[in-house]
Amino acid sequence: MHSLFDHEKLEAFRKEHKLQPYRIRQLQNAVFKNHIIDFDEMTNLGKDLRSDLKKEFEIIPFGVKTIKEDDETTKFLFESKDGQVFEAVLMYHKHTDPQTKIEKLNRITLCISSQVWCSVGCIFCVTGKLGLKKNMNRDEILGQVIYANNYIKNKFGKKEDWSRWTVRNIVFMGMGEPLMNYDQIKVTFPFLTSTDYYGLSSKRVTVSTSGIYPGLEAFIKDNPPVSLAFSIHAPNQELREHLVPMGKFYKLDRLMELMDEYVETSGNKVFYEYVMINNENDMPEIAHQTGKLLQNRYAHLNLIPYNQNPAIQLEESTPAAIKKFKDIVESYNVTVTVRQNMGRKEKSACGQLGYDALKESLKKKLETAKAGTEA
């Protein structure tokens, strides 16, 4: 089966079947504008054409194992053709109507994966405890967006103005380190940002990195129409190495130079991600260091309360500690936001993807160790 997004194969199919170019545009609009993922539902195409397309092309290159929902999120567990599982999460941002006092859906964010599990090994992240299984290809990455928009279409229908609910923001913050798979994520950008496809603005697509020199250097050189987030988590090298072990190979000083280079090249601000962990990186002196580091930089700091990890005993910072940290950093004229935690109930929150797999792995290790002791 060929990918529907392989332009060469699609063009060869068009010529072989003597189709007018507008038929390809109809096909693309069905997927990217009308969010259809089944050829049989593309009723503006002839029955024979739909049958031929089904024989040669596929839209979603993976299966769906489970879907878990709570009031704030939907978590998808997908399975690739080679049997690897990975997750993506829809987050539902709501607001309360000031007149009716009724809570309504405001926008939808999709957090997608770029690798099956992860090798970075941040101590507070579930996915990093699982290790890397594989890099995902373009169609596996893009397929998450296509599937999610179809799911939203079926779940929510249309808005009051009859426009469709769709993913408004896409963040490469799921499983994996995106810039370790840069060649594959960058070829999804045209589908996400071009008006021929989803047409999202650069502010609506964000690539998050733990700081990988080669990937960052390539990203800066290409200057793609997307935003950049840097998972910094600490303002000094020693603390960062403790929290992000891969940081010993990618020094903070050089990473900050690359952030400055990115700002100069793109004109965009950098979003700095900072997981708040009790008595690890949330102390006032660390806040002052963070403020000094980001002072006079085009930066926006996102503080993210730590989420439970079955492999390590850490605690989230208290609300009082987070507020004090925020106030201190803001005193250096840095913009700071405390991220809303969403999806904790279904383990869909930041740093929790792969929770069930890790919990099961730890359970098996414990049973094996117990059996060995008893023997």
Judge residue 128's burial from the number of C-beta atoms within 10 Å of its C-beta, 0-12 exposed, 13-18 middle, 19 or more buried.
buried
Q: Establish whether 350 is a catalytic residue.
A: yes
From the list 118, 122, 125, 350, the catalytic residue is 350
Distance CA 155, CA 153 (A): 6
Q: Is the dihedral of CA 364, 66, 133, 112 positive or negative?
A: negative
Beta strands 85-96 and 73-80 are antiparallel
Is 270:231 a contact under the CB 8 Å cutoff? no
Q: Is the dihedral of CA 124, 126, 127, 128 positive or negative?
A: positive
Is 199:237 a contact under the CB 8 Å cutoff? no
From the list 58, 72, 87, 316, the catalytic residue is 87
Strand partners, 78: 64, 86
What residue has token string 């103005």? 161
Beta-carbon contacts of residue 242 (< 8 Å; ≥ 6 apart): 123, 234, 280
| 273 φ, ψ (degrees, to nearest 5) | -95, 135
Angle of helix 47-56 relative to helix 7-16, nearest 10 degrees, comes to 140
Q: Establish whether 87 is a catalytic residue.
A: yes
> CA distances (Å), 34 to each of 26, 85, 160, in order?
10, 27, 17
Which run of H or of E encompasses 134?
strand 131-135
Catalytic residue set: 87, 350
